[in-house]
Structure 1
Amino acid sequence: MMNRNRLFFFLCVFPFFTSFSLAQVPNNNLQLGFRQDFNNYLWKAAVHYIKAKEHSYQIVFQEDFNSNLLYVPALSPKWRDENRFTFSYKNNLLPWFSNIALLKAFSLSDKQSGYHNSAHSEFVALGFQLELQQLLNWKGLVGPKWDSRFNHDDQGVGLQVELLTDDLQWQGYHNRWQLRWSHDRIGRRQEHDFSLSCQFQREFYEGTSDSLVVTLNRLRRDYYITKAGDLETRSEKKWQVNNWLSYRIFPGLDFHLFSSLYLKKSDIEQIIQTKSTGRRERQDDGLRLKTQLDYRRNSLQTILGFLYHAQVQEYKFLGEITPSPFMGSIGIPDNQSKLFQLYSNLRWWPTSKDSLALHGSISCFRYDTPDTNNFDDRDELRINLCLTNRYRFHPDLALTVGAYVNLNHLIYIYAEHSADNNWSRIFRLSTNLTYQPNSNILWKQSAEVLAKYTDYDFEEILSSVRSFVFREFTLCNTVQVKLFANTKISFFYRLELEENGRLFWESFSEQLLERRQNNFFSWSTEYLLFDQFRLTLGVSGYFRQQWYYQTTTLGETIEKKQGRFCSYGPLFRIQLLNQTKQQAYVSLSMLRVKDSMDRLYYIHHIDLSLNWGI
């Protein structure tokens, strides 16, 4: 581990001290990086290079490597290494015909997840590309492929076909077609991808148009699930049709109608000792309708809309399915859900200094299952309101005030879950003040009060109080001052006051259980030493105090200090810039941490990166 740290530190920092002037980084570049967060270490290296000569050739070289270490002193180091490599060469034999050579490689060594994720694959292909200007682009590749997973080495053939059309016009309609197909047969396993997209669009006159998009996607993946070579096949087929219609009723008033229908079928089949032993089929069908009126006139903009979304999920099991790590849940019952929503947005500029925005929506969500042994059927009522006002007192001074209300009523239909019926009410008030008299001084202050009340409907028949309240006050200040042409200081402070308690909604009273005070601060000084070299020195910290409350048998409330947590430390940062683009970056910080148990330890954060044009 230390050898890798030293190597990447040298590679990332050495360019700072050898040259303070880098050419502007083009698309061709070399990237190196290292990052440490506590006990997590990440190394990155990448090379992206493209060289082309018009009507002659094109070379593409891409290499991306990531190495991650999770280091726990009591355990052995856990590594995860991933590498992706691509090389392609395209030679233009004719203005419209080219031959292509492709090499792709992928490798993964994973010792962190606990699963058999390690794998590697290589694909070598030859093919051609046919480009007919303003008509179509057709590309085909074929070649051998090697793949290794779960200690099984397979070899086979891979094929790729891509067909794209430009904007084809027919009777006033703009048509675009896209087809992508790939198929790999590797030993006993198959991988298949098919995607077809057709788009038809026409503008009848200004503000009135119709667009239709039809897509079909099919895929298949085969995975080894045991060292004996047992397979799991996952396949998916999806049809989707989207339509967007816009109609201008009169100047300033537009009507929009969006509709979407999709049918999706997913299968998981397990093949044990070359014989199918179980299969799960999942069918997802959905319909989405959205209508909207847009009105614009002078300083007023309004939107009024309605949304309907229905979805059905059905499961079918044939035989016995053995759960595998990435299969997902297999115990979800058949279900159907519906969402109805009415929403509105309004923006108004009464004066050149004042703006007002209002957003509101009311929704009803229904979830039903036909399974008589499942009691998750529920209804939800959701109400959201948001009002913000921004006023500019002076070109240098602006104030934004916001008020937010979120109400949610959850109702379980059956008595078995009705004890969880509850109202969730969230109220929030915020202000944001910005003062910038000139380019050298900036001051921002924001304050927010948040309250969340969760009240259970049938709490009077429960053995204990489940309703709770959470309140929070936040105050944040940011100050930036440019002292000299090459020196700027910044200060940040954030205060959070939080409390949790039991809620008695009928009397709107609270039994306080816990209280916290959080303080965040940072100070930094930034020096522009050269035209492209920026140095930042500073310090940051975090302090937390916590109290909890107990009620005695006499009804008295006793406050007890639960503990104190603090962390602080220095910050060092170097940035090498060129024409506003970051070329190199070094950030080092160390936090001295003392937790509530008076245990002392240190947290190091290192972030190094280099982006060098080649």
Structure 2
Amino acid sequence: MKLFKNTIITGVLGILFLFTSMVKCQQDSLELLILHSAPNILFTNLSKQLNTYNLRSGFLYSSNTETFSLKVQENFNSSFIKSTTKNIRDEQALKIKTLYRINNNLLAGLDVLSNILSDNRRIEINQASVSSAILFAQYMPEEFLLIDPFFGYSFNRQIGEADNGYVYGSEALLNNYRLSDFNLQSALRFNNEDISPRKNFLRYINVAASKEFNQFVSNTFEGKFIQKRKDFYYTADSVTANEFGIKNNIQSRIETTYFLQNKLQLNQIFDLLDVNFISRLNWRIIDRDTRYRSKSIRSGNIFDSKIEELKLEVESATSYRSDFFSGTLIAIYSERDEKNITKKFEGIDESFFEQRSDLEKRKNNISFRSAIAFNGDLFISGNDRINISLFQSKLKYDTPSIENDDDRDEILSIARLRYLKKVSPFFEAIISAEGSISHVVYIFASRSSNNYINRTLKLSAGGIYSGSRLISRNIFEVSANYTVYDFEDINPNFQSFSFRQFSATDSTVLFLSKRMSIELLGFIKLSEQGDLKWAEFSTRPTRFVEEIFIESKIFALFNKLKTGIGVRFFALSNYNYKVKEKLIDSRYSSIGPLTEITYSVIEKINLRLYGWYEIISERNSLQREQANLNFELQWNF
């Protein structure tokens, strides 16, 4: 099961990585320059399910005039878990931002922030808070340039340590500045947070230059530098605490990133093709420093470490479109080199340094990944369409240390074929077939018993009916997963296995009249896991799971009030096998009434109540009863 999940997750992440890399964007570091307007809203959500209670409340208010802007945002989350111990966790975040226009080129504002975390568990950080008030100005000497200096004060509390100090810096934004034939975009942020004895800072510089050679050809070059330092407390060991007279030690984490990217775009080639070429270079350094270190500690743990990561990516994307076919082909090649370095600490025996260095070097790794993906639609007619998706990737993972045997090669292939047909104006049918194969091979004999091949196959069929009185979505699916270890005869701890499943899902709404409707939601899943002999393609079932869920409701509409009552049923049964006989192992079922009420008090205030009462039965256990509730309030003002 674990390998099956890992394979599917790897495939999904691979596809997402390929198809999102073309629109990859870096998080904007600027925080004060722009005050976005947003709809005013107040909301609260209270839910209780099993032994967990959750409360989520908040509001967002903004007001804008010609000379003054205000934005207030509040979020509060609280959870209560009732078990052998009672766990309460609260999180509160308040943001207030104002902006006053002095003249057309100069604005001034105030930014207030408050974050509070409280957790009654005995964890490292169970009490923390950050509050700050910052005055800032926005000066626009030119329509393409915006400068924002700021100054304020911050109060910070973490695991019993209270720090406060000044926050100051500046932001700048250069937008659509023409320099010869180039269009320049740039952003800068310089931020210092001196909350003694901690020092946090941020340095952010981003410059992008683009040039259009003609209406079909353009090139964009981007460079970025980011350096961020964060100091945080952690509980000091007894030796360090006694020597320096402290309770909590401080560790600094400085992350530095250098990023370069070039993107060449060729559009409307022969009025059919768009081609993009992208190259990226990313160098990242993570440096850790511990404030208080005692030379009395004779071990490798006294040393700090540093990580250096260099990553190179080359990517191309080609899109084709015509009246009967459209598709995109993406290819990526990347190399990544990670080095873990131990930093020296004078006064400590060299043998401890060598010991820690050896441990860090074992983390060093070099990886090479190449991947290609294709997605296309073939339009057979106005009512018929075939979708094809293909994905192929190869990963080579090397570890330079001779003491590390994690070197491996991974190959993943995924193919999917879907046929969509619009049978009538009311009904659309979908048939899909999908398969994947992955192979993991460890290079060294010490790990070769982990080598395996995973094969999956999934067939599904379904349809969507949308009529005047009936809307129904149904899908039926069968899937099979086969995992085969290369050397299971040598190592009895690794046993090839199969996992097969059938599922049927239904979602239907029947409108009895303008004021009454019936809704049905349900699914059934039948799963079987067993030992596999791939050479003979035979299985010996070891476990069977049956899962059924049904929720039916009838709704009535009275003006702005919509009320519904119904029944909710869920059952989960687990079976084991004795030879070929299926024997019940555990059974869980719950059934009970449910209700759902939505009410529009006025046009902008909406209430929703959803709850169910369940009678729970378990094999070899006493019957019990439980209530579940979800309440929502939303006010758009």
TM-score (norm 1): 0.88
The residue correspondences of 1:445-464 to structure 2 (distance < 5 A) are 445-463=474-492
Q: How many Å apart are 1:293 and its aligned residue?
A: 2.5
Which amino acid in the other structure matches residue 467 of structure 1? Answer: S
Q: How many Å apart are 1:132 and its aligned residue?
A: 4.3
Q: How many Å apart are 1:464 and its aligned residue?
A: 6.0
Of the structure 1 ranges 454-463 and 268-277, higher mean CA displacement relative to structure 2 is found in: 268-277
Q: How many Å apart are 1:197 and its aligned residue?
A: 1.5
Q: How many Å apart are 1:131 and its aligned residue?
A: 2.9
Q: How many Å apart are 1:538 and its aligned residue?
A: 1.8
Q: Deviations over 1:391-450 (max 9, x none)?
A: 1222222211111011001100000010111100000001112223x2211222211110
Among candidates 331, 340, 343, match of residue 306 of structure 1 = 331
C-alpha separation in 2, matches of 1:453 and 1:529 = 54
Which residue is 2:281 aligned to? 261
- Residues 1:216 and 2:241 aligned together: no
Q: How many Å apart are 1:48 and its aligned residue?
A: 2.1
Q: Is the 2:605–2:635 contact (alpha carbons within 8 Å) kept by the matching residues of 1? A: no
C-alpha separation in 1, matches of 2:89 and 2:573 = 38
Instruction: Classify the secondary structure of the residue corresponding to 2:400.
Output: coil
Among candidates 75, 81, 88, match of residue 64 of structure 1 = 75
C-alpha separation in 2, matches of 1:144 and 1:344 = 53
The residue correspondences of 1:115-264 to structure 2 (distance < 5 A) are 115-132=124-141, 134-226=143-235, 228-248=247-267, 249-264=269-284
Instruction: Classify the secondary structure of the residue corresponding to 1:116.
Output: coil
Q: Is the 1:134–1:167 contact (alpha carbons within 8 Å) kept by the matching residues of 2? A: no
Which amino acid in the other structure matches residue 583 of structure 2? Answer: K
Q: How many Å apart are 1:577 and its aligned residue?
A: 4.0
Which residue is 2:65 aligned to? 53
The residue correspondences of 1:393-412 to structure 2 (distance < 5 A) are 393-412=423-442
- Relative to structure 1, the CA distance from residue 407 to residue 568 in structure 2 (aligned partners, 3 Å threshold; closer, same or farther) is same
- Which structure 1 residue ranges, 5 or more long, are not aligned? 1-25, 323-328, 552-556
Q: Is the 1:229–1:273 contact (alpha carbons within 8 Å) kept by the matching residues of 2? A: no
- Relative to structure 1, the CA distance from residue 583 to residue 274 in structure 2 (aligned partners, 3 Å threshold; closer, same or farther) is farther
Of the structure 1 ranges 86-95 and 191-200, higher mean CA displacement relative to structure 2 is found in: 86-95
- Greater strand content: 1
* Identity among equivalent pairs (%): 21
Among candidates 585, 588, 604, match of residue 562 of structure 1 = 585
The residue correspondences of 1:16-95 to structure 2 (distance < 5 A) are 27-54=39-66, 56-72=67-83, 74-75=84-85, 77-95=86-104
Of the structure 1 ranges 298-307 and 472-481, higher mean CA displacement relative to structure 2 is found in: 298-307
Q: Is the 2:168–2:193 contact (alpha carbons within 8 Å) kept by the matching residues of 1? A: yes
Q: Is the 1:199–1:214 contact (alpha carbons within 8 Å) kept by the matching residues of 2? A: yes
Instruction: Classify the secondary structure of the residue corresponding to 1:64.
Output: strand
C-alpha separation in 2, matches of 1:252 and 1:613 = 46
Q: How many Å apart are 1:319 and its aligned residue?
A: 5.1
Q: How many Å apart are 1:208 and its aligned residue?
A: 2.1
Instruction: Classify the secondary structure of the residue corresponding to 1:544.
Output: strand
C-alpha separation in 2, matches of 1:174 and 1:559 = 71
Which residue is 1:390 aligned to? 420
- Residues 1:587 and 2:610 aligned together: yes
C-alpha separation in 2, matches of 1:314 and 1:465 = 32
TM-score (norm 2): 0.85
Among candidates 520, 523, 534, match of residue 562 of structure 2 = 534
Which amino acid in the other structure matches residue 84 of structure 1? Answer: A
Which amino acid in the other structure matches residue 246 of structure 1? Answer: Q
Which residue is 2:449 aligned to? 419
Which residue is 2:503 aligned to? 474
Q: How many Å apart are 1:331 and its aligned residue?
A: 8.7
Q: Deviations over 1:168-209 (max 9, x none)?
A: 122332221111222101111011122222122233333322
Which residue is 1:3 aligned to? none
Q: Is the 1:259–1:288 contact (alpha carbons within 8 Å) kept by the matching residues of 2? A: yes
C-alpha separation in 2, matches of 1:376 and 1:471 = 31
Among candidates 424, 430, 435, match of residue 460 of structure 2 = 430
Which amino acid in the other structure matches residue 593 of structure 1? Answer: I
Q: How many Å apart are 1:606 and its aligned residue?
A: 1.7
- Residues 1:112 and 2:142 aligned together: no
C-alpha separation in 2, matches of 1:133 and 1:439 = 58
Q: Deviations over 1:442-481 (max 9, x none)?
A: 2222111100000011123233660000000111222211
- Relative to structure 1, the CA distance from residue 476 to residue 28 in structure 2 (aligned partners, 3 Å threshold; closer, same or farther) is closer
Which residue is 1:549 aligned to? 577
Which amino acid in the other structure matches residue 302 of structure 1? Answer: G
Q: Is the 1:190–1:222 contact (alpha carbons within 8 Å) kept by the matching residues of 2? A: yes
Which residue is 2:313 aligned to? 288
Q: How many Å apart are 1:233 and its aligned residue?
A: 0.6
Of the structure 1 ranges 179-188 and 272-281, higher mean CA displacement relative to structure 2 is found in: 272-281
- Relative to structure 1, the CA distance from residue 90 to residue 470 in structure 2 (aligned partners, 3 Å threshold; closer, same or farther) is same
- Relative to structure 1, the CA distance from residue 293 to residue 67 in structure 2 (aligned partners, 3 Å threshold; closer, same or farther) is closer
Instruction: Classify the secondary structure of the residue corresponding to 1:347.
Output: strand
CA RMSD of aligned residues (A): 2.5
Which residue is 1:601 aligned to? 624
Q: Is the 1:191–1:220 contact (alpha carbons within 8 Å) kept by the matching residues of 2? A: yes
Which amino acid in the other structure matches residue 289 of structure 1? Answer: V
Q: How many Å apart are 1:584 and its aligned residue?
A: 2.2
Instruction: Classify the secondary structure of the residue corresponding to 2:304.
Output: strand
Which residue is 2:23 aligned to? none
Q: How many Å apart are 1:598 and its aligned residue?
A: 2.8
Which amino acid in the other structure matches residue 234 of structure 1? Answer: R
Q: How many Å apart are 1:70 and its aligned residue?
A: 1.8
Question: Larger relative contact order (C-alpha < 8 A, sep ≥ 6)?
Answer: 1
C-alpha separation in 1, matches of 2:433 and 2:459 = 5
- Residues 1:521 and 2:550 aligned together: yes
Q: Is the 1:70–1:112 contact (alpha carbons within 8 Å) kept by the matching residues of 2? A: no
Q: How many Å apart are 1:539 and its aligned residue?
A: 1.6
Q: Is the 1:380–1:408 contact (alpha carbons within 8 Å) kept by the matching residues of 2? A: yes
- Which structure 2 residue ranges, 5 or more long, are not aligned? 1-37, 236-245, 296-300, 353-358
Q: Is the 2:54–2:78 contact (alpha carbons within 8 Å) kept by the matching residues of 1? A: yes
Which amino acid in the other structure matches residue 613 of structure 2? Answer: M
Which residue is 1:484 aligned to? 513
- Relative to structure 1, the CA distance from residue 604 to residue 179 in structure 2 (aligned partners, 3 Å threshold; closer, same or farther) is farther
- Relative to structure 1, the CA distance from residue 397 to residue 195 in structure 2 (aligned partners, 3 Å threshold; closer, same or farther) is same
Q: Is the 1:491–1:522 contact (alpha carbons within 8 Å) kept by the matching residues of 2? A: yes
Which amino acid in the other structure matches residue 430 of structure 2? Answer: T
Which amino acid in the other structure matches residue 28 of structure 1? Answer: N
C-alpha separation in 1, matches of 2:608 and 2:206 = 43
Which residue is 1:8 aligned to? none
